[in-house]
Amino acid sequence: MALQIGDPAPDFKANTTNGEISFHDWLGDSWGVFMSHPADFTPVCTTEIGKVANLKSEFEKRNAKPLVVSVGTKEGLSPLDSHKAWIKDVNETQGANVEFPLVEDPNKEIANAYGMIHPNASDTLTVRSVFIIGPDKAIKLIISYPASTGRNFVEIMRVLDSLQLTANYQVATPADWEYGEDCIVVPAVPTEDIPAKFPKGHTMVKEYLRTTPQPNI
């Protein structure tokens, strides 16, 4: 059965460009942004890996760790050597300094555990999957992009902001919400309790639609 939001994120041990890791131990108390890409030494993937590297400070600000896996590696090289060689190209072409781990998965065990190979798209390569994993090691978000479309990292950061906010406050975020904008008070909060829970104030649009300024800023 395919992984779903709320499921435990499968743990694994693997060799990476930063050494061997045990996934859950490596995450610790951080949020995880676990991604797959179709293959090393390919154009769209090169821009994505560079983008992740250049967003290092944004991940750190959110206490989030990026991790990338691929089963498509360069012929004649071991998976790990392929990743390491490709990183040099990424750094050169994207003005980046890749420091986060790239995972080797020679038997596709990790990719299959996370459902990253979609046979009707390709039965040999991973699609562009994104799993956001909370400090409790549960899956909070799943997005899959086709090989032809690079990820929108503005959206990934936006969702991470929303997940971290809503994990700590009884709010939800509306369509196109961005950090700093008003939030929605969840229906479970009685209207009479809103002033105590949200002292910044609230707006009653409808009895089921109550907004309040973002509570954690």
Of 53-62, 117-126, 173-182, minimum mean pLDDT range: 117-126
Residues known to be catalytic: 45
Strand partners, 130: 35, 143
Q: For 81-99, what is the mean pLDDT? A: 98
Lowest mean pLDDT among 61-70, 120-129, 133-142: 120-129
Bridge pairing between strands 102-104 and 64-70:
parallel
Q: What is the pLDDT of residue 92?
A: 98
Domains 13-151 and 169-212 share a fold: no
- 121 vs 127: CA distance, rounded Å: 8
- Band (124; pLDDT cuts 50, 70, 90): confident
pLDDT (0 to 100) of residue 61: 98
Q: Taking the model in full, what pTM does it have?
A: 0.95
Domain ranges of the chain: 13-151, 169-212
Estimate to the nearest angstrom the gap between the alpha carbon of 68 and the chain centroid.
10
Q: How many CA atoms lie within 13 A of 14 on its CB side?
A: 26
Number of H helices, E strands in the chain: 7, 11
Domain 169-212, CATH homologous superfamily name and number? Antioxidant, Horf6; Chain A, domain2 (3.30.1020.10)
What are the pLDDT digits (tens) for 149-158?
Answer: 999 999 999 9
Closest by CA to 131, choosing from 64, 57, 50, 54, is 64
Tokens 């400070």 correspond to 57
137 φψ region: left (φ > 0), alpha (ψ -120 to 50), beta (else):
left
pLDDT at 86 over 80: yes
**CATH superfamily entry for domain 13-151:** Glutaredoxin (3.40.30.10)
Confidence of residue 143 (pLDDT cuts 50, 70, 90): very high
State the chain's maximal CA–CA distance in angstroms. 67
At 46 the pLDDT is 98
Quick check: 1 pLDDT over 80? Answer: no
Q: What is the pLDDT of residue 201?
A: 97
Q: Looking at the predicted structure, is the pLDDT value of residue 125 above 80? A: yes
State the pLDDT at residue 123: 87
Q: How far apart are CA 60 and CA 108, in angstroms?
A: 29
Q: Which residues pair with 115 in a beta bridge?
A: none
The average pLDDT across 6-10 equals 98
